[in-house]
Amino acid sequence: MSKFAIHLSFNVISCEGCGIKRIRGVPCADCERRPEPWEVDSAALCRRQRAVEAQQILAQAADQSEHRELGAPEFLHAEVYAALHTWMTGFFDAVSAAAESQEGAQRLKDSVTELVGLRAALHRADDRRPMRQLISALRGLIAELESMVGAYLETLLASTPLQAQNHGARAQRHLDAATEAITRVESVSEAVEILTHQRDASRTQAQLLQLALGSAQQPNLLALDSWGRDSLWEITGSRGTAGHGVFFGICRVIAQNLFNDGQFCYVLRRAYQLFSSSPKSS
């Protein structure tokens, strides 16, 4: 995901203790002389007040926030993506505006309110199967964006350029993590689409196979089979026979995107232990 920078201004004056330039209202970094009571950076104070107001909105509990109404579950992925695409551009514009003038204060609060409303809607969304993993992935994406927003608001609160740079770097890390979360959402959404809307069995099989190849990051069926059998060894202590790795890869991608991957691996391991301990009864 692309990088975003906020431009902040700080009022600089000469320190009466050592004579170097320092930020108004901040202790001198060289002689540690504390600022005089009359030293007020009015622009910075207003910027921080705008950030505090937005922080209060962001801190609202999900079950106490007003939320937008989401459509039918099958359109959830597309609807949330469309909302976030518009929101991202609006938020970055609002942060830049709030950093420079009072006129941006309301835009910033409106943008944060929109994200909080989307979070609240996903909090209330029906997360029963087959939508459970998709809802979980979307909530994870929103959580990263919330953390990103929080870090950018901390940037507006910064009293020195170094503090602002540190908070800005943290915001960028959350922005990068949101990119990874988007990849996860897209993978789950594709699996849900295949298993809930595809009616042709042969096409379902082909699409799941393609999804398994992508999930395992393998170039072909032979590589997928080898990867799958290695994974089986890690889970059960047995590599099975030729073809078991491909079958495992397909089952694993279904478990990851529709069910519970940890539970799938646990049941697989326990089932193998049961049948291998009593081969005659099996």
| 116 or 63: which leads in pLDDT | 116
Phi, psi (deg, nearest 5) at residue 109: -65, -40
Average pLDDT, integer, range 206-211: 91
pLDDT above 70 (res 71): no
Which one of 3.30.70, 3.40.50, 1.20.120, 1.20.1420 gives the CATH number of domain 12-197? 1.20.1420
CA 61/CA 253 separation, integer angstroms: 33
Length of the chain: 282
Phi, psi (deg, nearest 5) at residue 9: -115, 140
Average pLDDT, integer, range 148-157: 95
At 282 the pLDDT is: 47
At 210 the pLDDT is: 92
Residue 250: name the closest of 277, 270, 234, 232 by CA: 232
- Cβ atoms of residues 232 and 244 within 8 Å: yes
pLDDT above 70 (res 73): no
Dig out the tokens for 1 from the structure: 């995901």
Average pLDDT, integer, range 126-152: 90
Percentage of the residues of the chain whose pLDDT score is greater than 90 = 46
Residue for token pair 């993506």? 81
At 166 the pLDDT is: 94
At 82 the pLDDT is: 83
Average pLDDT, integer, range 190-195: 84
| 189 or 282: which leads in pLDDT | 189
Average pLDDT, integer, range 177-193: 88
Kindly report, residue by residue over 10-61, the tens digit of the pLDDT.
878 788 788 888 777 788 877 878 877 777 777 788 898 999 999 999 998 7
Residue for token pair 């943008």? 111
| 218 or 104: which leads in pLDDT | 218
pLDDT above 90 (res 174): yes
Phi, psi (deg, nearest 5) at residue 14: -85, 135
pLDDT band at 65 (very low <50, low <70, confident <90, very high): low
Domain boundaries, the chain: 12-197, 201-277
pLDDT band at 63 (very low <50, low <70, confident <90, very high): low
> Highest mean pLDDT: which of 101-105, 111-115, 160-164, 184-188?
111-115
Kindly report, residue by residue over 83-138, the tens digit of the pLDDT.
888 898 899 999 999 988 878 899 999 999 999 999 988 888 878 777 888 889 99
At 66 the pLDDT is: 62
Kindly report, residue by residue over 231-245, the tens digit of the pLDDT.
999 999 999 999 999
Burial class (CB in 10 A: 0-12, 13-18, 19+), 280: exposed
Work out the mean pLDDT of the chain and round it to a whole number.
Answer: 86
CA 205/CA 221 separation, integer angstroms: 13
pLDDT above 80 (res 169): yes
